[in-house]
Amino acid sequence: MLIEHQLENQTLFFQAFQYAPIGMVLVAINGNVLKANSTVCSILGLSEEELLLKTVQEMTHPHDLDLDLALRDQLIAGMRESYQMEKRLIKHECEIVWVQITVSLVKNKAGEPLFFISQVINITDQKITYNEIQEKKRLLIEREQRYRSVVEHAFDFITMHNPDGTYLYASPSCYEVLGYTPEEMIGKAGYEFLHPEDIQVAIQDHIAILQTDKKSNRIIRIRKKDGNYIWTESTSSSLIDSETGETKEIIVVSRDITERIKKERNLQDNEQRYKSLFDYHPDLIYSMDLEGNYTSINQSFEELMGYTKQEMIENPINFRSVVDPTDYEQVEHHFIQATKGFAQRYEASGINKTGRHTTFDVTNVPIFVNRQVIGVYGLASDITYRKELWKRLEESQNLYQLISENAQDIITFATPDGVVRYASPAIKTLLGYEPDEYVGKVAIDFWHPDDIASFIDENILQKSDVDTFTSRVRHKQGHYVWFETTAKIIRNEDREIVKVLAVGRDISERKRAEQELNAAKDQLESFIDRNVDPILILNLEEKVARINHAFEKTYGWTESEIVGLHLLDLPNIPIELKPEAIQNLNRIKSIEAFEGHETIRKRKDGVILTVMISSFAMRGENGHIIGWAMILRDITDKKQAEELLIRSEKLSIAGQLAAGIAHEIRNPITAIKGFVQLMKSGIVEKKMYLDIMVSEIERIEMILSELLILAKPQIFQTERKDIRKLLAQVTTLLDTQAIINNVQIITEFDPEIPLILCDENQLKQVCINFIKNAIEAMPKGGIIVIQLKSKNEDPNHILLRFIDQGCGIPAYILSKLGEPFYTTKEKGTGLGFMVSKRIIENHNGEIAVFSEENKGTTIEISLPTTH
């Protein structure tokens, strides 16, 4: 079965080989023809038997043999997989046939070369057509040069005009005769330069030319630049558009006949100049990816094709959408060849955004990165007008002076050894040199020394005829300017280098931006690596992209163990804190930055650490978020120190409480003890002494009750309450005591106060304590103001104030308020304020005291609302 399958494959291969529409030939390693199909035999005019007696070497034209053999050697050496070239084959009777061959090497399983297989296409007709076109172009150029020589060296001066009479062109002799530069005349009406007495005659003559298309001879006076007039004899003829039949331009040949007319009319003679016509058509420069989508375009592209850079970014445009359908196949072919590494040049028509057609001279060169083609550069010159000029030349035998190109980049031509033969005017703008100062010099002599060495080391233009490189070029003022240069080797038909074309662009701003960006990146890297706090970087997939040395040192895991893990899968997050970690991740992604989140993490050895987490978003060059940075500061030692301090403070407070309790209880106990001793002695007034003893015992109970409230956690039951109602109940309760003490209670409540979440009884206790304190602070009477307002700077809190007109509290005592048993009242314990402060703090509120001696005291309480 396998043998039958192999035989079937051999039969199919033989049929495909023998009847292929293109030539196919098998060639031995030594060049002998092993097998050829009928197409090859037809191309060479030989039978297969005759071909088998020949070698490729003897059939190849001598001028093409060396290149062919060199490429074959490269195939054998494994330097390339195949090659394609155009060459001449010698048919019988020494007849030459042009062919395009594509050659591949067939090897056995051991990798040893067996034979070559070549595809052969007859391109003789195309070559003949190409040569005819080249000859036609050569003749046109010769005719153009002859015409230009006649125009530029003629004694008569020649001008060209629009149908409306404005100047389009002036030959060089115009300046010699009239004294005007081209810039002083182009675009102006011809009548502006005529003598007032001759204008009407000239207008009539001009109209006659437009109406009859006949030549016209006239004698008129033309004003020279110095204001004097010369007499001229002018012959005018119209240039007719062959398609529309309308006059396109009027050509005027004028001769200075001042001397002749001067003898007759004694008029002054003066010279006048016409200026040259220079129209600037900047080139279109762009790049494409391997799919043909534009990746960058220059300003000329935007202006001519109508697409902006922003449009290219938002909605990539393919070159196929702007190519004229009639040129699609050839443009596609050249693009594919460029992606294979072969530079291409051709003409094609493009369609801009508004539908206007433009003809371009296009150069496509491959973009090489690490020896791989990653895209294609394009350089397109608008030759629409030039093509139209050539068309007019063929139709009317007239030739306009070609319009010189003006590009923003520096364009130079140099000899193969680097001597500059041409430099575009842009060199004056970008480097300060006049073109003449640059021409004749070796271009590399203007480079920075370091860049010369790099140019040599990188073998620029050694492996390809087109290359792009960057270098610093010395400005005329002495400093260096960064340039990105694309250079192309131009060869003749014999593949000899005849010149080097280079296009250089000033990229100083781009280089400066790159340096600033690199510096910023280095600073960020240094910040991360040298930071004493553990840092990890997350990418957009929420996975760890990197960690710093402090992270490894603090937690024990190495970078290789952590990088690539999702944030929620990190081993330093305790399992019970996974929900919190999810909340933190959502918080990190939802806000620009946050800091100060305290939590715990564990080390690789299991030790638990208290950490403070901060995070911020990281943004790229375009401002978009590219990831997040997290700082996990170890605050374990700090927390332990704080807890130690708190324990110390608790011990200090306990000591104060013990001392206070001993002092406060000792007094009533001493009194009780004394009265007990008196009663034992037989004193009669026992009831009076018993009342005093009960009073002292009740004082001891009060002190102990307040201590219990302070020490024991109270049952805290919160409800949504209207604090206005709560205050109304408290003021009603204390109104009687206030009236007895000649005190008036006034309330000032805002009309809209939100509900608060509170324990009603405890909050009432606070209000009663502060109102009673205020009453007791005014033994001679006065006013207590209770204010209830919304907090202006924080709408989620309310302010409650108790304002009295009492004796006030000295400044040195204010700082001690809240300490146990420290009081300003004769029979106070100081525990009431301490208990009230504890209740306010349990409600997540704050309390502040403001007082001035002999003027009064304000107690200010801030409480959160239920919003």
| Of residues 543, 584, 588, 583, the one with CA closest to residue 566 | 543
- Of 1.10.10.10, 3.30.450.20, 3.40.50.700, 3.40.50.1370, the CATH number of 416-506 is 3.30.450.20
Q: Report the share of the chain in percent with pLDDT over 90.
A: 9
Class of domain 18-122: alpha beta
Q: Is the pLDDT of residue 277 over 60?
A: no
Which residue do the tokens 């693009």 mark?
Answer: 335
Rounded to the nearest 10 degrees, how much is the dihedral formed by the CA atoms of 835, 838, 843, 844? 150
CATH topology of domain 154-265: Beta-Lactamase (3.30.450)
Judged on CB neighbours under 10 Å (0-12, 13-18, 19+), 296 is middle
The pLDDT of 326-353, averaged and rounded, is 89
Report residue 500 as tokens.
Answer: 């080097």
What integer is the mean pLDDT of 52-62?
Answer: 88
Q: What is the pLDDT of residue 666?
A: 63
- CA 684, 690, 695, 700 dihedral sign is positive
What is the Cα–Cα distance from 83 to 75, expressed in whole angstroms? 8
User: For residue 764, is pLDDT > 60?
Assistant: yes
CATH class of the structural domain 284-396: alpha beta
Average pLDDT, the chain: 79
- Return the CATH number of 514-634, one of 3.30.450.20, 3.40.50.1580, 3.20.20.150, 3.40.50.300: 3.30.450.20
Q: Which is nearest to 468 in space by CA: 483, 487, 482, 452?
A: 487
Instruction: With H, G, I as helix, E, B as strand and everything else as coil, classify residue 77.
Output: coil
* pLDDT of 684 higher than 60: no
The reported pLDDT for the residue numbered 28 is 92
Q: What is the DSSP annotation of 637-690?
A: HHHHHHHHHHHHHHHHHHHHHHHHHHHHHHHHHHHHHHHHHHHHTT-S-HHHHH
Q: For tokens 């703008």, what's the residue? A: 429
| Residue 593 half-sphere exposure toward CB, CA atoms < 13 A | 8
CA atoms within 13 A on the CB side of 112: 3
SS3 content of the chain, % helix, strand, coil (to 5): 40, 30, 30
Confidence tier at 695 by pLDDT (50, 70, 90): low
Report domain extents, the chain.
18-122, 154-265, 284-396, 416-506, 514-634, 640-711, 719-864
Domains 416-506 and 640-711 share a fold: no
Residue 443 has pLDDT above 60, yes or no: yes
| Residue 799 pLDDT | 92
* pLDDT tens digits, one per residue of 780-818: 899 999 999 987 777 788 999 999 998 888 877 776 676
Q: What is the pLDDT of residue 650?
A: 47
Q: What confidence category does residue 475 fall into, taking pLDDT thresholds of 50, 70 and 90?
A: very high
Would you state the pLDDT for residue 687? 63
Between CA 423 and CA 445 the distance in angstroms is 15
The pLDDT of residue 651: 53
> How confident is the model at residue 717, as a pLDDT?
75
H or E element: which one contains 627? Answer: strand 625-634
Predicted local distance difference test score (pLDDT) of residue 281: 36
Give the pLDDT mean for 391-417: 62
Rounded average pLDDT over 659-668: 59
* Partner residues linked to 29 by β-bridges: none
pLDDT on residue 610: 86
CATH topology of domain 640-711: Helix Hairpins (1.10.287)
Q: Give the pLDDT of residue 84.
A: 92
Give the CATH architecture of domain 719-864. Answer: 2-Layer Sandwich (3.30)
CB of 386 closer than 8 Å to CB of 403:
yes
Q: Is the pLDDT of residue 507 over 70?
A: yes
Question: Looking at the predicted structure, is the pLDDT value of residue 270 above 50?
Answer: no
Q: Which of 235-239, 630-634, 705-709 has the lowest mean pLDDT?
A: 705-709
Q: Which neighbouring-strand residues pair with 252?
A: 159, 236
Predicted pLDDT at 746: 92
Q: In this predicted structure, which of 4-8, 322-326, 369-373 has the lowest mean pLDDT?
A: 4-8
Position 78 pLDDT exceeds 80 = yes
Q: Is 815 helix (H, G, I), strand (E, B) or coil?
A: coil
Of 146-160, 258-272, 298-312, 761-775, where does mean pLDDT reach its minimum? 258-272
Torsion of CA 461, 465, 470, 473, to 10 degrees: 80
Band (pLDDT 50/70/90 cuts) for residue 402 is very low
CA distance 91 to 618: 71
Contact of 29 with 12, CB cutoff 8 Å: no
The reported pLDDT for the residue numbered 710 is: 44
Average pLDDT over residues 206-211: 79
Give tens-digit pLDDT for 579-594.
888 888 888 888 767 7
Q: What is the C-alpha to C-alpha distance for residues 280 and 399, in angstroms, rounded to an integer?
A: 18
**What angle (nearest 5°) sits at the alpha carbon of residue 206, between those of residues 199 and 239?**
145
Taking Cα atoms as reference points, which of 760, 694, 693, 701 lies closest to residue 729?
760
Instruction: Return the structure tokens found at 721.
Output: 């309450």
